[in-house]
């Protein structure tokens, strides 16, 4: 349509007429329609930066016929791979870019013939949408059988629910969003609890009918989630800007995480046997991708740091291990060694067989939500 309008203007106003290169036709139409809509929706005012958008989608049968003609004349312009030889029967990739490529090959006479003047009415549909609403917070997980996200193995679901679903279902219902996208600062294994102040997470609420949340409403939403289950709890819910999404991933390997674990030992212990752990500082590990995650992680050797260790005697074959590590450290593998794939490891440090019975994340050191300390 842009090309067709340009041809009509030049033919009526002169071939020397200079026209902008970009989508001036769409811009003119948008400007005209915005003025008309503002009158209809008064006293509301048009603002191009408004988070609420009205989208008009136009459809014209004549455009389809014209595109078909362009495909027949310059099929190579509609190849999915630029420059690839066109094969008969291949489906044409008709879009703004491919149509523009074809029109660049057309002469003025071609365009006059292929883009005839038309007064046929077009049809259009109206869609209303609001820019996403972002809600940040932290969650605790108290269950050792609840995954963070829906758990599927070969298309078969494992478990009845997940942290993501328990949070997102309530929030999406509260703001009437079309979709809820969940992201977090790392993840814990299904059998690991998330304690302390919780794991930072961010929700992107797509097209919310309720586009804002007051402090009182966030408190109600938080209470609604926490009263619906004993498996998780959320805290610190806050509305944030889109730019905060990057903060969850920035410095992913620089963040510190604190853990506690119940350790079993093959040999009998006395309380003093674990005292030496407190003297270990900034221990550098070389960790090969653990066997248990090789099916979904790239094989590599990663250097990670254990900043501090502390042992607390429990009984003759058990003690509790407290450790602070660099984010991304595989704690289970640090304990038992993963058949020597993590070096050094707790098994070697203690000179005996050890294994991890339970693991808890005690703290993730991150200023989150961003506005709170």
* Cα–Cα dist 162/307, whole Å: 31
Handedness of CA 77, 83, 86, 87 (dihedral sign): negative
CB 237 within 8 A of CB 168: no
CB 339 within 8 A of CB 316: no
H helices within the chain, ranges in order?
2-13, 24-40, 61-73, 96-105, 108-114, 163-175, 215-227, 245-249, 331-336, 346-350
* Cα–Cα dist 235/245, whole Å: 18
Handedness of CA 205, 210, 214, 216 (dihedral sign): negative
CB 317 within 8 A of CB 229: no
Catalytic residues: 189
Residue 66 exposed, middle or buried by CB count within 10 Å (0-12, 13-18, 19+): buried
Q: Which residue has the tokens 């944030």?
A: 240
Q: Report helix, strand or coil for 354.
A: strand
CB 266 within 8 A of CB 354: yes
* DSSP tag of 64: H
Handedness of CA 215, 221, 222, 227 (dihedral sign): positive
Dump strand ranges (E) for the chain: 52-59, 123-130, 133-141, 151-153, 156-158, 179-184, 193-206, 232-240, 256-265, 281-288, 301-315, 318-326, 342-343, 354-364
Handedness of CA 345, 348, 353, 354 (dihedral sign): negative
CB 58 within 8 A of CB 124: yes
| Longest CA span, the chain | 99
């Amino acid at each position: 349509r842009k090309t067709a309008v340009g041809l009509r203007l030049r033919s009526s106003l002169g071939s020397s007429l200079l026209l902008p290169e970009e989508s001036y036709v769409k811009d003119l139409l948008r400007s005209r329609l915005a003025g008309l809509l503002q009158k209809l929706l008064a006293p509301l005012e048009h603002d191009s930066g408004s988070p609420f958008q009205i989208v008009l989608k136009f459809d014209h049968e004549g455009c389809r016929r014209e595109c078909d003609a362009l495909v027949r004349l310059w099929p190579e312009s509609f190849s999915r791979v630029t420059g690839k030889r066109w094969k008969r029967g291949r489906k044409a990739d008709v879009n703004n870019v491919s149509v523009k490529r074809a029109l660049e090959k057309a002469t003025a006479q071609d365009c006059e013939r292929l883009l005839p003047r038309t007064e046929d009415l077009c049809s259009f549909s109206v869609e209303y949408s609001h820019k996403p609403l972002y809600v940040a917070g932290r969650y605790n997980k108290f269950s050792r059988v609840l995954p963070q996200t829906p758990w599927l193995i070969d298309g078969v679901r494992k478990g009845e629910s997940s942290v993501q679903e328990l949070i997102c279902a309530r929030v999406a219902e509260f703001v009437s969003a079309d979709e809820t996208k969940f992201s977090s600062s790392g993840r814990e294994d299904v059998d690991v609890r998330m304690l302390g102040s919780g794991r930072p997470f961010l929700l992107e609420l797509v097209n919310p009918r309720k586009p804002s949340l007051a402090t009182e409403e966030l408190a109600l939403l938080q209470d609604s989630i926490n009263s619906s289950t004993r498996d998780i709890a959320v805290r610190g819910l806050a509305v944030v800007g889109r730019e905060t999404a990057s903060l969850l991933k920035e410095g992913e390997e620089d963040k510190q995480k604190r853990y506690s674990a119940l350790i079993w030992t093959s040999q009998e212990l006395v309380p003093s046997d674990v005292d030496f752990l407190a003297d270990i500082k900034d221990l550098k590990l070389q960790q090969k991708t653990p066997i248990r995650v090789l099916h979904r992680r790239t094989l590599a050797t990663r250097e990670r740091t254990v900043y501090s260790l502390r042992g607390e005697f429990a009984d003759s074959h058990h003690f509790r291990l407290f450790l602070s590590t660099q984010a991304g450290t595989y704690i289970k593998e640090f304990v038992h060694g993963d058949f020597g794939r993590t070096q050094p490891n707790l098994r070697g440090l203690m000179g005996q067989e050890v294994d991890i019975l339970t693991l808890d994340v005690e703290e993730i050191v991150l200023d989150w939500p961003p506005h709170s300390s």
